[in-house]
Chains A and B, each alone.
With several copies, the nearest count.
Chain A
Amino acid sequence: MQDNMNVMWTLIATILVFFMQAGFALVELGLTRSKNAINIIMKNLMDFAIGSLSFFVFGFGLMFGKSNGLFGTEDFFLSGVSGNSWDYTFIIFQTVFAGTAATIVSGAMAERTRFGSYLIISFFITTFIYPIAGSWSWGSLHHGNGFLENLGTGAFIDFAGSTVVHSMGGWLALTGAAILGPRIGKYTIDGKIRAIPGHNIPFAALGVFILWFCWFGFNAGSTTVADFSIGRIAFITNLSAVSGVVSSLILTQLLYKVPDASMTLNGALAGLVGITAGCNHVTPVGAIIIGLVAGILVVLSITFVENKLKIDDPVGAVSVHGVCGAWGTIAVGLFAAEKTLGVGDKDLGLFYSGSFSQLFSQLIGFGVYFTWSIVTGFILFTLVKKFRGIRVSEEYERLGLDITEHQAEAYYETK
């Protein structure tokens, strides 16, 4: 049963996770051109606004209402809640998580998506795609019960959302960016890649610092209980983040002969996304390894997505959230060590228990969410593309979305 202290801790975590909207907006805005800065702000603002309302009306019920096995069927409009109920804290806590999943997609679709179409896409993500899939792993946190929570080989573990929030966001971003196609000038006719540098790396860096600051709430808040474990989870989270920074720095030094700032910043996010699933289950050393691998994966994946898949992802959302989210999920099956940590009766990770069963559950989870995101994403983006068009005209893209879609300039200097 929840008490005052757990309400306070969960609300503080909620307030921190809300502020990630500012972090994501700054990262996207900093890594894209100044002629689209206002469009990025509006997409992030509307992501959260539409997400909050649709999650209250519909999404929350689908995700946490009494489930028919596939999705929740009650608690729409938070019906039946009265007095100072825990449900208020729980719904705002889950709302900011849904907002995070939706806003990941906007980064990959930056600089060429029609604003109206984006709002429709964001609505469907926060109202259907995210909540339904979320109910499969987190339903039992409220009135629901997801099938992934009852796998024979052990419940699928995704403590704070490496998969449920980040990977899902990442795979949806992948589909969106693929269907949208690259920005003009990204690839030459003979397929060579042209860099389209962001206009304000300090903004992007401030965004990463804000995300890191809020991630302590994202991970340690997911206990929804204020006990000694929140300190451990915060410590573990930080170890993975710093390891992601160090490994991406070393890799870029080796690959490019210089420490690359934007990749090292992505390394921090990779470490954070990677540890999110297992932050309550792995040891300090496990966290360091997860972070080191994430830092390497993100650098390789960004190059792979750009070169091999020919998908133009301006902020690396697919690599940071999709790929590292998946790695974080699978890593739980390898490094989970509850007994060694002294917080559980047995170690679930392969490296500690020698058993593949938890790893198997993690792979099932990864597969379920990957397929769900790619399929629903494909359907959603294709339908929106057919009915309304998803991409702005070439002329609009050249002039920038600020002037054309919002009749405004981000940095106005009086002439």
Chain B
Amino acid sequence: MKLLIAYIQPDKLTPLRELLSKLEVFRYSISDGFGHSEEKGFFERYRGVELDVDLMKKIRLEIALNDEYVSKVVDAMLAGGKDGSLGDGKIFVLPIEETYRLSTGESGPVAIG
């Protein structure tokens, strides 16, 4: 079981969700984040004073996947990245030692859902 953490551009969330549903991945979580990277920030000005905004709004995605799904999802996202439909972003894959479903107490791959 792996935990996929992905940072993507906010307006690319909808294309990504469509991609995931095509892969029949229906469980994921997202939260608002800010990212800093080589990406050029915004130039803002407040009452005449320059303001360098170099923290870009990002969507942070967490998808817990069973091993056989991982490469399927990653490859699909990289394809989306290449053809520009998903824009820039980063994916980190971390190991999950155990998963539990609160409502039923199930654990292991079946709890990933």
Contact = CB atoms under 8 A, between A and B. Distances in A.
A contacts B directly in the complex (CB < 8 Å)?
Answer: yes
Given A415-B13, A415-B30, A415-B34, A408 B49 contact: no
Contacts of B42: 399, 403, 407
Nearest to A399: B42
Given A398-B11, A415-B13, A306 B48 contact: yes
Contact of B47 (A258, A302, A398, A399): A302
Interface string B28-39: 001000100000
Tell me if B's interface is mostly helix, strand, loop or mixed: strand
B interface, size bucket: 10 to 19
B47 A255 contact: no
Contact of B46 (A255, A399, A408, A415): A408
Contacts of A198: 46
Contacts, number: 53
B43 A407 contact: yes
A398 B50 CA distance: 22
Contacts of B45: 195, 256, 258, 260, 407-408
Interface string A54-70: 00000000000000000
B51 interface: yes
Nearest to B49: A195
Interface string A205-218: 00000000000000
Of B44, B45, B47, chain A has the most CB atoms within 10 Å of the CB of: B47
A407 B43 CA distance: 7
A371 interface: no
Of B30, B43, B51, chain A has the most CB atoms within 10 Å of the CB of: B51
A303 to B, nearest CB: 5
B94 interface: no
A198 B44 CA distance: 13
A299 interface: yes
Nearest to A257: B45
Contacts of B47: 195, 260, 262-263, 302, 306, 316
B48 A256 contact: yes
B4 to A, nearest CB: 19
A193 interface: yes
Interface in B48-66: 48-51, 53, 55, 59
8 shortest A-B CB distances, which residue pairs?
Answer: A195-B49, A195-B46, A197-B46, A195-B51, A407-B45, A303-B48, A407-B44, A193-B49
